[in-house]
Amino acid sequence: QVTLRESGPALVKPTQTFTLTCTFSGFSLTTTGMSVSWIRQAPGEALEWLARIDWDDDEFYSTSVKTRLTISKDTSKNQVVLTVTTMDPVDTGTYYCARLTPYGASFDYWGQGTLVTVSS
């Protein structure tokens, strides 16, 4: 059974650096073709893809926020970490991690999401 769970601070101050952790089970990021992504959703708004990390350590980022994001993985802990620098109130929203179908065309399993508010 595949599960993913996001964890991290619920409140972040503007300009701070912020880290979210996705802890997953039921699959391994050492398996060829496996990938995990981060997706966010501002309140009342659409989904926005942020980043992806692959089994072979390849990383991909949304061009709109690329300079502020870092995605990494710890395969021994079954975790994927997203770091976002220079947080701004517009970064407020629910952050989801999601597994991708093999070789990464769609998101087949999602975490429940974690709401992050950026406010002083």
**Binding footprint of another protein on the chain (CB under 8 A):** 37, 39, 46-49, 52, 60, 62-64, 96, 101, 104-108, 110-113
Q: Of 16 and 109, which has the nearer Cβ to another protein?
A: 109
Q: What is the DSSP string of 67-90?
A: GGEEEEEETTTTEEEEEE-S--GG
Which residue in 7, 83, 63, 75 sits closest to 35, CA to CA?
75
Q: Which is nearer to another protein, 46 or 120 (CB)?
A: 46
Cβ distance to another protein smaller for residue 72 or 94:
94
Q: Please tell me the distance from the alpha carbon of residue 26 to that of residue 65, in angstroms, as a whole number.
A: 30
Cβ at position 108, least distance to another protein in Å: 5
